[in-house]
């Protein structure tokens, strides 16, 4: 019984550690994307806080969302046709 409790405790700790690493990696990736988007808009001459900068960031976000939607549609179509 003690071994079972120890095994369960190790599994729970391992899952929590894995989840924390995944969250940290996702946060780091989000920061990198934001930094890249910031640099891209500034390279166009848009100053942070200006209307042009806000518009640039919104356009990038919209382009990324549209690409994500296309990718999801492609995957969904693939899953429907390859059963």
Mean pLDDT, rounded, of the chain: 91
Tokens encoding 37: 């988007």
Q: What is the pLDDT of residue 12?
A: 74
What is the distance between the alpha carbons of residues 28 and 22, in angstroms, rounded to a whole number? 10
Domain boundaries, the chain: 2-81
What is the distance between the alpha carbons of residues 50 and 69, in angstroms, rounded to a whole number? 29
Q: Tens of pLDDT along 58-71?
A: 999 999 999 999 99
What is the distance between the alpha carbons of residues 57 and 15, in angstroms, rounded to a whole number? 36
> 3-state class of 35 per DSSP?
helix
pLDDT band at 9 (very low <50, low <70, confident <90, very high): confident
pLDDT band at 3 (very low <50, low <70, confident <90, very high): confident
What is the distance between the alpha carbons of residues 8 and 72, in angstroms, rounded to a whole number? 36
pLDDT band at 25 (very low <50, low <70, confident <90, very high): very high
Q: How many secondary structure helices (H) and strands (E) does the chain include?
A: 2, 0
């Amino acid at each position: 019984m003690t071994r079972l409790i120890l095994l369960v405790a190790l599994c729970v700790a391992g899952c929590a550690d894995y989840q924390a690493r995944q969250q940290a990696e996702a946060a780091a990736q989000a920061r990198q994307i934001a930094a890249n988007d910031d640099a891209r808009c500034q390279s166009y001459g848009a100053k942070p806080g200006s209307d042009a900068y806000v518009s640039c960031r919104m356009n990038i976000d919209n382009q990324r969302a549209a690409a994500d939607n296309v990718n999801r549609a492609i995957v969904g179509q693939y899953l429907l046709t390859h059963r």
